[in-house]
Amino acid sequence: MRQERLVPAAALLLVVVAFALTPLGTGVPLATFDIYNALQGFAQIGLLALAIGLTMIAGEFDLSVVGTYAVGGMIAVQAGQSSAVLGLLAAVVAGAVIGAVQGGLIAWLRVPSVPVTLAAYIALLGLAYAISGGLSVTFTNRDATLWVDQTVAGVFSPRSLITLAAFGLAALVLGGTRLGAELRAIGGDRRASRVAGVRVDRRLVLLFTTSGTLAALGGGLLCFSFASANPDPGLRPLLIAAVAALLGGVSLAGGRGNPWGLLAGALAVALLAQIVAVAYLPDWSTQLFYAALLAVIVAIDSPGLRRGIDRIRARTRTAEA
């Protein structure tokens, strides 16, 4: 199996086994609610992980997703007091515009994505504070709050189903069209992609537009669930989403990854958080688990380790010959 398939499959399998064995340590059998709660955690970070992961496939990194997350949630809450659909639509349109502007700057000015998206992140947090007056905004549409978290088939909710549908749509588009191969080519070697005829600029604009749309949608759904919007969600969502993307088999250098792997990575992170909750472990242990997983991924992805493994294989073949 290629690394982009092996890493997410191994990570998800390991966490699922650990989740299934949790009752051995707690003495309490798992309930349907535990699976539902894990999928709710997946819905909270899944769209962010997909947004970041798609940009990483193309060799970019969208740091602004948390700012778009906050602005999207704020717009959805304020515009959706009477109509949740209208609020989500306004948030998605705002996220798409934010992403398109950033993608245009990165593509046409030929500048790296990190400084552009970092500046956008800071500006978007300021915008969220300006919209809310520096305070959290309460969402009074109780019907929408109850709807997004109601149980479906015992373990799902509309929020988790929407997140799963986004992954499925991304996999369909990237797997069924040339877009997936072109994004991986851009991440592998942008100059060679231009020579090969890939419309790099248009692909980057589309990529960041998609990233902004996903982040704003995720922020809006989460704020509906919490019945409030916070102008500053902090860096934790960004860090967890990045860990999920790396667990999903995306390379730090770009050129590798797919939505199904990103889905496995996001599910692994959500299940790991639920294991901590079910086992009554302290909250800081989750951070240690994430850090350990990230360290393993970085080690696996390092060129030095690959060269070492290649040398060992070459010596083994020589000895056998």
pLDDT in tens, 224-280: 999 999 998 888 888 889 889 988 888 877 888 899 999 999 999 999 889 888 888
pLDDT band at 48 (very low <50, low <70, confident <90, very high): very high
Write out the DSSP string of 206-232. HHHHHHHHHHHHHHHHHHHHHTEE-S-
- The neighbour count for residue 140, using CB atoms within 10 Å, is 13
Least confident span in 2-6, 168-172, 277-281:
2-6
64: CB partners within 8 A, 6+ apart: 98, 102, 117, 118, 120, 121, 124, 212, 215
Q: By C-alpha distance, which of 166, 169, 139, 202 is closest to 48? A: 166
- Once rounded to an integer, what is the mean pLDDT over residues 184-212? 89
Q: Band of the pLDDT at 166, cuts 50, 70, 90? A: very high
Most distant CA atoms of the chain, gap in Å = 75
What is the DSSP-derived secondary structure letter of residue 150? -
Written as six digits, the tokens of 232 are 């500053």
Across the range 41-52, mean pLDDT stands at: 95
Helix, strand, or coil (residue 229) = strand
What is the rounded radius of gyration, in angstroms, for the C-alpha atoms of the chain?
A: 20
Tell me the torsion sign for CA atoms 281, 229, 63, 53: positive
Query: Position 12: which residue type?
Result: L
Residue 170 β-bridge partners: none
- Is 73 within 8 Å of 237 (Cβ atoms)? no
Beta-bridged to residue 228, according to DSSP, are 138
304 pLDDT exceeds 70? no
Rounded to 5 degrees, φ, ψ at 189 are -160, 100
- Angle subtended by helix axes 284-301 and 3-20, to nearest 10: 150
How many distinct helices (H) and strands (E) make up the chain? Answer: 15, 2
Q: Strand (E) positions, 56-112?
A: none
At position 204, the amino acid (one-letter code) is: L
Mean predicted confidence (pLDDT) in 277-296? 76
pLDDT band for position 155 (cuts 50, 70, 90): very high
pLDDT beyond 60 at 81: yes
As a whole number of angstroms, the distance between CA 179 and CA 186 comes to 10
Is pLDDT at 301 greater than 70 in this prediction? no
- Average pLDDT, whole number, for the chain? 89
* CB of 70 closer than 8 Å to CB of 128: yes
Give the pLDDT confidence score for residue 298 in this predicted structure. 67
Task: Tell me the mean pLDDT in the region 31-35.
Answer: 92
Domain 3-285 has CATH 1.10.890: no
Q: Is 305 helix (H, G, I), strand (E, B) or coil?
A: helix
- Segment 292-318 shows an average pLDDT of 70
What pLDDT, on a 0 to 100 scale, did the predictor assign at position 1? 46
Asked whether 28 and 244 are in contact (CB, 8 A), the reply is: no
Per-residue pLDDT for 149 more than 70?
A: yes
Percent of the chain scored above 90 by pLDDT?
57
Residue 303 has a pLDDT of 61
